[in-house]
Structure 1
Amino acid sequence: MASSSQASRAVPNRAVPNLAFRRLRGQRSPGEFAASVRKAAREIGEQVSCDARYVGRVEAGEIRCPNYAYERVFLHMFPGLTLADLGFAAREQVRGGGRGRPPEPSLGPLDLDGNSDSDIDEESDVLRRAFMTSGSATVAAASLGLGPGPGLVPAQRRVGEAEVNAVEHAVRRIRLLDDRHGADGLYKRAAQPLRAAYALLDAGTAARPSTADRLHAGAGELAISVGWLAHDSGRFDDARSHYAEALATARVAGDPALEAHAFCNTSFLARDAGRHREAVRSAQAGQRAARQLASPRLLSLLSLREAGGWAGLGDRTGCEKSLGRAYAYFDRGPADADPEWMSFFGEPELEALQAQCWSALHDWPRAARHARRAATLQDSRFTRNLALYRAQLAADLARAGAPDEAAEAGHQVLDLLAEVRSSRIQSMLSDTARVLLPKRRTGGVGSFLERHGESLRRA
């Protein structure tokens, strides 16, 4: 968690609306303008994922300077105009943070295309090459933005607040981007800050024991976050390695909260990989670690992970017992000791995980009821989870004998895939399309199958 001193030093940055860019859009809707941007990009061989949300962020002043790909597209669209004419700030001003605005701590590039203030790929490429050849705390510190560049940072720099804050910021940034966009396209970018965090751990130069504890916890949480990106994008072996790294870090540091988190994700991965007995045992190990904490919600989530493992084994009794514990813990409500990473775990996720259990037990109507409730309750700001819950609903409805409703849910998922890139969700939707194929002449099934096929061809 961010320290109070860190929060007190923060300087608010009020976005200034980009009126010049808004005037250039004219009478077109944000969606129509985004389509014209994508078309212009194709004309010059660029690839950008511009949508109405990106246009809105530019016009609101949240994006002060586009990355290089967008710059080339905009200058192609409006010949003779400069970035300043388009209402953007100079790139060097954005990179420097601007007078009176301290730059956020950073371990490397974590923003997806179209969602960063400026393009930093050139600098990060230099840092990646230096990091891979040196592997030292010197370059790790440089990648944290704490010195003038590789080779110029003092090799014996002691790890302090700035470095730990940067690790913690990277964890939060990954989670935020995953909530909005899904894991695909983000996983490889997240590998650099993870290497930097562990290089700082290996250097063993923390200023105080409390700093070392925070660094261990931050590095472990970062390993779990990167592991989740691998997990959600179908890279199961990579995910397993990252989760194991986090678990080892937890054991070395004697951190039960980190250990419980690592076992929670390991159980989830084992279930997805078909190792259901391992899913049960990992969830049970996570519960043993979590009992040292005062977080009923954490025990609820771990009980749901166990239930998923029992369901995969076809053990309905074991699944129902675990679900009963999960609800009992959940009903105790939130607590001060709830881990920060559990912000996603509310009633929608409780319903969604229960839907997964009934799906595994082939009770499709019951699964669909819980999946529908999850999708209904989910806050629309969490785009990735909303898409996931609707994909689950479409799959359950298709198998429950409700093809029209399944197709409708599938259309809703496709609407969200313009913003979300997740191999997990794509795979679920493809599986639903296969189930619905024999019903392609029923109601709206045909139009869904056609649209889904088109989305695969564009991918």
Structure 2
Amino acid sequence: MTYGAAGEGVRVKAKRNTRLEALLVEFGYTHENLADAVNSAAAEMFGTHANCTDRHVRRWIAGDVQWPWPRHLVPLQNIFGRTAQEMGFTPRKTSRVPAHPTRTKPATGHRGLPRRDFITGGLAAALGLELIPAAGRLGSSDVERVRAIVANLYRYDHALGGGALHDVATEALRHVQSALNQCTFGDRVEKLMYAAMGDLAASAGWFAYDAGRQTAATHLYREALQAGALAGDSMLQARVWSNLAMQARLLHRDREALRMGCAAVETRQAKNDAWLMALLHCRQAVGHARAGDRVRAQRSLARAESAYERTQGRPAAWLSFLTPAELTGLAGAAHLALGQQRRAEQLTLSALQMLEPRFERNRVYYTVQYAQALIDGGEIEHAAVQAGTAVTLAERVRSGRVRGKLADLRRGLQQHTHVPVVVDFLEETGQTGA
């Protein structure tokens, strides 16, 4: 087998792909139209343009290309609702076969978001893992590929939740670990690769945490800490300590969470990175509030605001959620823990109003927080309405953490069954798992 300029497999004796040709006729696509459709689907699914042209389509039909790149193949599956083989493509021995498409009919008119299960299956094939060598020598370009994997994963995390991404991220991590064990590299690339691998491990740990898989999250965070130590990456270590603090807080180990958060704040990198420092102080504020320390909570909130005012440029991929809406929502969480429900209600509502549409999971999370503040303030009917909104929004998100918050909210509302709107909510959501 030889390889074409674009890197796709090319056979010497090409056999025309009549199956794909028939699909174009059946669904009314020209070569140009199909290329546009692939690019649109890729942009929606992966956040990047697939650079597909009518020339690619002609080569597929002519049989010059037996197995397209994943960035083209996965959108094709979603467009036609067929597996790669059903579209007439033939995998090589080393080809990564994407999951079976869930779409049974081609999209017509405006394309909405792809189905969640298809995204998580297709994303595994489109992360570019096959471009990271399993043997030979690793270079700086391979480091960038690992960094790109993390950025791609976080594009979906904000909308789908960690439950949709934990397995995919863990698979990617094991692939990178294998490359580090099997390949050769220089000292500079070694440190960079360990830092990138630690970034991926910490991300996988976050997805596991959000999915409710706390044992897996702890294991992955430890791997990230080890990689951070080998790379000499203090920012990565501060990030992991912060995430471990969040996990401890989720497991009701509040004092341990505060100590871990303090360890993260004291790292040199955290002190030099305003984005990270803003997040750390916000999380510490919530921790101090849960411990009943109003003075320290307010001091941490003030420090978070001051740090955020010093931020410049764009944050790292894992910090892309840190917007004014997020800081306001975390301030609301701190005030709610302090029993200041009116201020918590105001801040959380403001956070929801500022939150960008792409942060679907956080919208559910803060809608639940808003409903809880309303309950604490005695506005039970309004709280029940907001709880219903949260349940509806949560149908699009796979997050064990959010499901846990919804369950807590539901139990809180069960104390108010004398309110008709609450009874309606409990009856309507009785089978939803909320």
For the criterion TM > 0.5, the same-fold answer is: yes
AA partner of residue 159 (structure 1): L
Matches within 5 A, 1:17-32: none
Shift of 1:329: 1.4
Count the aligned residue pairs.
Answer: 353
Identify which of 205, 222, 240 aligns with 2:218.
240
| Residue from 130, 135, 149 that aligns with 1:144 | 130
Aligned residues of 2:169 and 2:204 also touching (Cα < 8 A)? yes
Q: Select which of 270, 273, 287 maps to 1:295.
A: 273
Per-residue deviation at 1:228? Answer: 0.7
Equivalent residue, structure 1, for 2:201:
223
Q: 1:262 — aligned with what?
A: 240
Counterpart among 395, 420, 441 of residue 372 in structure 2: 395
2:350 aligned with 1:354:
no
- With over 3 angstroms needed to count, the CA separation of the structure-2 counterparts of 1:222 and 1:330, relative to structure 1, is same
Task: Report the Cα distance in structure 1 between the residues aligned to 2:121 and 2:305, rounded to whole angstroms.
Answer: 43
1:436 corresponds to 2:413: yes
Give the partner amino acid of 1:435: G
Shift of 1:226: 0.8
Amino acid at match of 1:65: Q
**Could you tell me which of 237, 242, 256 is aligned with 1:278?**
256
CA contact (8 A) 1:67 1:116 kept: no
C-alpha distance 292-425 of structure 1, shift in aligned 2 (>3 A): closer
1:372-420: CA deviation from partner (whole Å, max 9, x where unpaired): 1111110012211111111211222122211122122222222222311
Aligned to 2:383: 406
Q: Confirm or deny: 8 A CA contact 2:326 2:351 kept in the other structure.
A: yes
Structural RMSD (CA): 3.8
| Equivalent residue for 1:115, pick from 119, 127, 130 | 119
Q: 1:277 to 1:117 in 2, by over 3 A?
A: closer
State how far apart, in whole Å, the 1-side matches of 2:379 and 2:28 are. 44
Cα 1:355–1:120 change in 2 (3 A) is closer
Q: Give, in whole Å, the separation in 2 of the partners of 1:295 and 1:21.
A: 52
Paired residues of 1:67 and 1:114 also in contact (CA < 8 A): no
Mapped contact 1:167–1:219 kept (Cα < 8 A)? yes
Write the distance in 2 (CA, Å) between the matches of 1:408 and 1:265: 32
1:166 equivalent in structure 2: 145
Specify the alignment match of 1:12 in structure 2.
none
Instruction: Kindly indicate whether the alpha-carbon contact (under 8 Å) linking 2:248 and 2:256 is maintained by their aligned counterparts in 1.
Output: yes
SS at match of 2:385: helix
Check conservation: 1:310, 1:316, Cα contact below 8 A. Answer: yes
Structure 2 Cα separation of the partners of residues 419 and 380 of structure 1: 13
Mark the CA change 1:158 to 1:416 in structure 2 (over 3 Å): closer, same or farther.
same
Residues of 1 paired with 2:416 and 2:368: CA distance?
Answer: 18
CA separation in 2, counterparts of 1:294 and 1:120?
Answer: 35
Structure 2 counterparts to residues 74-223 of structure 1, below 5 A: 90=87, 92=89, 112-115=116-119, 144-145=130-131, 154=135, 157-203=136-182, 205-206=184-185, 208-223=186-201
Deviation at 1:231, TM superposition (A): 0.8
Residue 159 of structure 1 deviates from its aligned partner by: 1.4
After superposition, what is the alpha-carbon deviation per residue over 1:25-55, rounded to whole angstroms, capped at 9, x for unaligned?
Answer: xxxxxxxxxxxxxxxxxxxxxxxxxxxx99x
Q: Which amino acid aligns with 2:149?
A: A
Could you say what secondary structure the match of 2:77 adopts?
coil
| Structure 1 segments unaligned to the other structure (5+ residues) | 1-8, 10-17, 24-52, 55-60, 73-82, 97-102, 125-141, 148-152
SS of the counterpart of 2:312? coil
Residue identity (%): 27
Deviation track 1:89-144 (CA, whole Å, cap 9, x = no partner) reads 93638x89xxxxxx99x9xxxx95122685979x99xxxxxxxxxxxxxxxxx963
Structure 2: gaps (5+ residues): 1-5, 7-23, 30-43, 46-71, 99-114
Structure 2: distance between partners of 1:244 and 1:193? 17
Q: Give the superposition deviation at 1:441.
A: 4.7
1:344 aligns with 2:321: yes
SS at match of 1:63: helix
Query: Letter of the aligned partner of 2:130 in structure 1?
Result: L
Give the TM-score taking structure 2 as reference length.
0.71
